[in-house]
Structure 1
């Protein structure tokens, strides 16, 4: 079984890669010459099993609802796998 330091390093590396992807995407989208596109924003904040869904359009909110359902399903599956494994 790998040492906890390896898992910690992998986790921190994944977080840093995520930040870099978001930063590069933001810089790329702001440097486009054509700024006439309408942007839609939506998201899900999971506090335990309770999702908080937000969006500035109905389309973005629907996508956030689908993401919330997927996240809740994954959480339940992982909890059941953890209960069976131990």
Structure 2
């Protein structure tokens, strides 16, 4: 039961941090009064095949690198119990 509580707590903290980040960004934008450029990207993994998309080439490359790192981390965490 402690694991479930920790997972729910991490989810709540993550949502809070995202909301706080959006609020800080909105307040900074109002203070500066200027235009800002927003970039976004993402990865969809269908099995071992990544589908990468982004608003610019730089963001797409960054997203692909992050996806590779997170996939490697997930594989490591899944295989750790097998190594014991």
Report the TM-score when normalising by structure 1: 0.77
Instruction: After TM superposition, give the deviation of residue 52 of structure 1 in Å.
Output: 3.5
Q: Give structure 1 stretches of 5+ with no counterpart.
A: none
Give 1 or 2: higher helix fraction.
2
| Cα pair distance change 1:46/1:40, threshold 3 Å | same
Which residue in the other structure is 2:65 paired with? 66
Number of matched residues? 81
Instruction: After TM superposition, give the deviation of residue 20 of structure 1 in Å.
Output: 0.6
- 1:44, 1:67 within 8 Å by CA — same for their partners in 2? no
Kindly report the root-mean-square deviation, in angstroms, between the aligned alpha carbons of the 2 structures. 1.9
* Structure 1 stretches of 4+ moved >6 Å: none
| Cα pair distance change 1:49/1:14, threshold 3 Å | farther
Secondary structure of 1:7's aligned partner: helix
| Cα pair distance change 1:59/1:23, threshold 3 Å | same
Q: Give structure 2 stretches of 5+ with no counterpart.
A: none
| Residue 13 of structure 2, aligned match among 14, 17, 20 | 17
